[in-house]
Amino acid sequence: MEKYIVKGGRPLYGEVNIQSAKNSVLPLLAASVLTDEKVIIHRCPRIADVLNMVQILGELGCKTSFQGDSLVIDSADAANHEIPSALAKELRSSVFMLGSVIARFGRARIAYPGGCDIGLRPIDLHLSGLRRLGVQITEDGGYIDCTVEKTVGADILLDCPSVGATENIILAAVKGKGRTVIRNAAKEPEIADLQNFLNRMGAKVSGAGSATVIVEGVGKLHGAEYTPIPDRIEAGTFLIAAAMCGGELLVKNALSENLAALLHKLREISCKIHAENDKIYISSKRRLSPKLIETSPYPGFPTDLQAPATALACICEGSTVVVENLFETRFKHVPELLRMGADITVRGRSAFIRGVPALHGADVYAGDLRGGAALTLAAIAAEGESTVSDLYHIDRGYTDFEQKLRGAGADIRRIRV
């Protein structure tokens, strides 16, 4: 077990460099089994979720190796269509393998996926979408078994714009017969990134980033090299860190157009933001309350930044209501923030926050990935010493998190206990 020891209260100054987007890389890795030629993902972050996905690829018979920060995947000898339960339970994105494994082998067997415990997280839209493409699905004993000779294009309307379901259907349809139209598709930038990657492999996907995605099936895909988009959630985490600690931070390899909802809120609370090309500069002195933060699908305020934004609201002047619309139980960071002196009441999917002048140090536990990041930000902004335990949650999505914070002046170190 590892934990952070943090001495809080220091402003942040300097620069941080943002990794490639976790939520782009994971579906890209799933997509790599769609070809028997080599795929190279540049700037691939070695976060735990990626390493788990690499293990899943290994189980399927793919050869993978890191060359510097590029991940090389050779799926020529992939032969296995079963994803073992231990790995599937490690991360939610194992479910993306369903679409691509079906497309490659005509069958797939996978245990129900795990991932952050932030709500029910059903996969009914994934399964009904795949059924519409002609996939036969049986579920028994916690496993999902899929078979299809070749997927057949269909017109699919999603009940809600699920990121994962949109991506899974694209992956299953890309080498199928005919045309698939996905309506009410999720619009997240990572879906456009998947489209761009697939098209570089020879696919014909269009419309990603809008509510209607069109996939024209092609017979074969070839190898490709690709650099995924920067991680908007990691960039957002550091911007919120600077807003909480004060100081001036230059966040490099960050696309402001993918962070519009957060930047709007940060400007509203009186942070100075300057965005140019792939850099975002922030300076923060005084923080007014953001009043209302309501998560919604892209381009709305991202649920993955709700926990850091909640931590920020704790030390803003005035009251804030945070409404979590996507996941049912995504407030596990709140009891930990209370230990640090925050004033928060949770009712259902809403958190009512009355800002306090400062948080104080405490021993807190990361309950999930983004909640863990939020508590780390609270600790570096708080007065006094804190520990943040259960870092394996944070390691799922951030590389060198504490080194990057330390580089900007935070007093944080990791110890093994």
Interface positions with ligand UD1 (CB under 6 A): 23, 26, 92-93, 119-126, 160, 162-165, 186, 190, 303-304, 326-327
Instruction: Between 190 and 336, name the residue whose CB sits nearer to ligand UD1.
Output: 190
> Looking at 116, 245, 271, 314, which residue is catalytic?
116
Nearer to ligand UD1, 21 or 242 (CB): 21
In the complex with ligand UD1, which residue's Cβ is closer, 157 or 160? 160
Tokens linked to 398 = 């951030």
Nearer to ligand UD1, 163 or 377 (CB): 163
At its nearest, how many Å lie between ligand UD1 and the CB of residue 314? Answer: 21
Task: Pick the closest to residue 384 from 341, 355, 354 (CA basis).
Answer: 341
Nearer to ligand UD1 by C-beta: 53 or 249?
Answer: 53
- Of 253, 249, 252, the closest CA to residue 239 belongs to 249
**Minimum distance from CB of 182 to ligand UD1 (Å)?**
13
Report the residue number, 113 or 246, with the smaller CB distance to ligand UD1.
113
- Least distance in angstroms from the C-beta of 146 to ligand UD1: 15
Closest distance to ligand UD1 from the beta carbon of 359 (Å):
25
Distance CA 372, CA 143 (A): 30
- At its nearest, how many Å lie between ligand UD1 and the CB of residue 280? 20
> Could you tell me the smallest distance in angstroms from the CB atom of residue 31 to ligand UD1?
13
Q: Which residue in the shown chain puts its C-beta closest to ligand UD1?
A: 164
Q: How far is Cα 141 from Cα 144, in angstroms, rounded to an integer?
A: 8
Catalytic residue flag (residue 116): yes
Question: How near is the Cβ of 377 to ligand UD1 at its closest, in Å?
Answer: 18
Among residues 112 and 281, whose Cβ is nearest to ligand UD1? 112
Active-site annotation, residues: 116
